[in-house]
Structure 1
Amino acid sequence: MPPDAAFITTLRSQARGVQPRTVALRRALHRHPELGLDLPRTRDAVVAALADLPLQVHLGRSVSSVVAVLEGERPGPTVLLRGDMDALPLEEDTGLPFASRIEGAMHACGHDTHVAMLASAARVLAARRHDLAGRVLFMFQPGEEGFHGARHMIDEGLLDRTGPAGRPDAAYALHISATLPAGEVHVRPGPVMAAADTVRVTVSGRGGHASAPHDALDPLPAAAAMVGALQTAVTRRVSAHQPVVVTISRIVAGTTNNIIPETAFMEGTVRTLSEATRATVHEEIRRVCRHTAMAHGCTAEVHIEQGYPVTVNDSDAAVRLGHLADAVVGPDRVVTMESPIMGAEDFSYVLSEVPGALAFLGGCPPDVHPGAAPPNHSNRVVFDEDAMADGVAVYAGLALDALS
């Protein structure tokens, strides 16, 4: 049932009221990005932003995480809200007055906005603590960009912070996107982001003089054949109704023009949307690479490193998020995604334990067409800060709606 108009008007007003704080925190984080699991400056900035609020704050032991708990005035369920904190290894080229001051690091995926929105949502919810029957768990997470930060937090007891009340009953996250119109919310039930695995193949032959390839076993033709064979295997061994991406993005071999190397190394990524398809594709990669190598008289060692699992939105939670967003940003700005995104997200670890949903918040800058905007992970990406007020309202609204 959609929230009433007075509830939404007040919520939006409160989100706009804290916008100066939201922007200030976002810019402070943007100037000083940190990478990976150890984010001491970012952690301290979050703790300072929450210091005057009635929250129980817990710091991570092995990683720079922050978990804050807001207890309502009456018993009830628990809602988890996530904001990831880490940056990317990029040299910023935006020209913004608050651009990164750290060489080789940039908040190119918008995690600085996520942290700022979540901290301001905590402020809005703390002011309405009397409306809460239950509690809100604020998850400020390091290491989303390939470091399994959410898994580290779960291992440290994230989902058991609420004591006798048990685990969270619902979990939500927003992810800003520079290529979606500002303020739009995009969500879908079911798989929303892919599993991401890394494949590494070492092809071994026998080196020799490049003028006499018949006296050697050249691993390069075998490696080249594998690239094409893998694409064929995907189309012939996996149903067309099961999206799969296999991309070999790196091949390294040889030292100069007149030497046939002994080995060739290939590396790439595998993206799938179900665990069954994931297992099938892994088996095919191993089979294709080993037998293609044999056909060329070579051998192949195949290593597949499992990354994040599939991010699966609970159907009811996705619908609930969509209804709340309808009320907050307007139904004309809420989009049901037709297809999942083949990128990966470690909020998948939380959603494999707790029913919930991840949605995308549009952050395309004004006067820029979304199709022409530099995307997330670009060193030129820019986000519309006005969209953060919508994100704060959606975050806070999800908790209020569930705990009223």
Structure 2
Amino acid sequence: MSTKFCQIADLDDVKHELVGIRRHIHQHPELSYEEVDTARLVAERLEDWGYAVTRNIGGNGLVATLRAGSSTRSIGVRADMDALPIHEMTGLSYASEHQGKMHACGHDGHTAMLLGAALQLARTRRFDGTVNLIFQPAEEAGFNSGAEQMLRDGLFERFPCDAIFGMHNHPGVATGTFMFRAGAFMAACDTVKIKIIGKGSHAARPHLSVDPLVAASSLVMALQTVVSRNVDPMETAVVTVGSLHAGHAANVIPEHAAMELSVRSFKPEVRELLEQRIRALVLSHAESYGARAEIEYIRGYPVLINSEAETEFARQIAEELVGADKIIAPFGPIAGSEDFAYFLQQRPGCFVRVGNGAGQPMLHNAHYDFNDDNVTVGAAYWTRLVERYLQAQ
């Protein structure tokens, strides 16, 4: 492991400060497109460290730019800042002060890691070129997200990046272990909103109704056949009914039932097939019960596709930093989705996973917490990756 570039120990002197920032952000979570205070904290720190900071990109997003040397090469590194609408149940001393809002996905940690790299890069400047540190809002939006909005605001035109890199923590894998996969790594995710419209009646006179609840309940089971009987068994797809609501009283057959689906896939042709089959099944199923259906099919994030060369480069950096025994490559595809995929559609790059601890609560869980041991690990990784990518010739 070369000591010419950043080591984890190089950040030991600022670990307490970085953990403090992480816990402050955790304690004051802000939902998608509400990240005003978080963005202000991040921008003020970056400006104190000598970065040129451009605010309000794609909402509350910001880009911090630092130049060294004379090279025209450039790199982008991204962290997300938003929290989730979950009531925290960790009992931690720094638990969320905002009821119903929580950093249950570790974006507080992602932000702290990139801030740590920003600090180290500013005080060492062992690179030749331009660094664009991208702090993104609204990753959790599901659609019309922060990445899309930043791109619409001309992100890469205003802040050129030869390559783009991002990272997400991964509970269930030992802390400080890095995971890589070239090609399709994370799934496309679509949301389907369905309304089954029937005819309400007294519960004692079901023959006078068109019961939307019966139709919706049957539809839940029918939807389970979309993947098992339509998608090639060698492909990966998920159709999950996550929400079903109908009625308010036991003695009333309601007028309508509403349900929402999450649909995941890894190939465009599978994504198209899923939409075709879901639409056809919903309409015909409702009709078979004498009801009718309204469908809103919302295309969410695309498949996240890591480029080959940048993924191999990112893997090499991790191996240099933590050793080959803490690398998993290739790691299996992940059915979760991530709007970093939009950046990778426009620039080559790699989205990395880092272990958050074996046996720890999963993401989007009310008991989840980011592992503070990863703050300096991630900061050192980003620092070394920038130093190596923009290595002086």
TM-score tier by shorter-chain length is over 0.9
Question: Whole-Å Cα distance in 2 between the matches of residues 21 and 261 of structure 1?
Answer: 56
Residue 287 of structure 1 corresponds to 280
Deviation of the 1:259 alpha carbon:
2.6
Where in structure 2 are the equivalents of 1:21-40 lying within 5 Å?
21-40=17-36
- Counterpart selection for 1:397 from 368, 384, 391: 384
Instruction: Point out where structure 1 has 5 or more consecutive residues left out of the alignment.
Output: 365-369
Residue 179 of structure 1 corresponds to 172
- Counterpart selection for 2:136 from 132, 141, 154: 141
Question: Share of identical aligned residues, percent?
Answer: 36
Question: Whole-Å Cα distance in 2 between the matches of residues 353 and 61 of structure 1?
Answer: 17
Change over 3 Å in CA distance of 1:233–1:379 after alignment to 2: closer
Q: Deviations over 1:57-111 (max 9, x none)?
A: 1001551111011112122321110011111122222232222222222211111
What is the DSSP-based 3-state SS (H/G/I as helix, E as strand, rest coil) of the residue aligned with 1:145? helix
Structure 2 counterpart of 1:135, one-letter code: T
* Aligned residues: CA RMSD: 1.7
Structure 2 counterpart of 1:132, one-letter code: F
Deviation of the 1:118 alpha carbon:
0.5
Where in structure 2 are the equivalents of 1:371-386 lying within 5 Å?
371=359, 373-386=360-373
Instruction: Point out where structure 2 has 5 or more consecutive residues left out of the alignment.
Output: none
- Counterpart selection for 2:196 from 176, 192, 203: 203
Matched, 1:332 2:325: yes
Give the structure-2-normalised TM-score.
0.94
2:58·2:146 contact (CA, 8 Å) conserved in 1?
no
1:363·1:385 contact (CA, 8 Å) conserved in 2?
no
Q: Deviations over 1:186-228 (max 9, x none)?
A: 1111121111111111112222233333332222222122222
Question: Whole-Å Cα distance in 2 between the matches of residues 161 and 73 of structure 1?
Answer: 20
Where in structure 2 are the equivalents of 1:69-84 lying within 5 Å?
69-84=65-80
Residue 123 of structure 1 corresponds to 119
Change over 3 Å in CA distance of 1:44–1:221 after alignment to 2: same
Question: Whole-Å Cα distance in 2 between the matches of residues 298 and 375 of structure 1?
Answer: 39
What is the DSSP-based 3-state SS (H/G/I as helix, E as strand, rest coil) of the residue aligned with 2:305? strand
2:58·2:152 contact (CA, 8 Å) conserved in 1?
no
Where in structure 2 are the equivalents of 1:2-401 lying within 5 Å?
5-8=2-5, 10-60=6-56, 63-129=59-125, 131-146=126-141, 148-162=145-159, 167-364=160-357, 370-371=358-359, 373-401=360-388
Deviation of the 1:351 alpha carbon:
1.0
Deviation of the 1:338 alpha carbon:
3.9
Deviation of the 1:281 alpha carbon:
0.5
Deviation of the 1:153 alpha carbon:
1.1
Residue 367 of structure 1 corresponds to none
Deviation of the 1:359 alpha carbon:
1.1
2:193·2:258 contact (CA, 8 Å) conserved in 1?
yes
Question: Whole-Å Cα distance in 1 between the matches of residues 370 and 263 of structure 2?
Answer: 29
Report how many aligned residue pairs link the two structures.
389
* Runs of 4 or more consecutive aligned structure 1 residues displaced over 3 Å after TM superposition: none
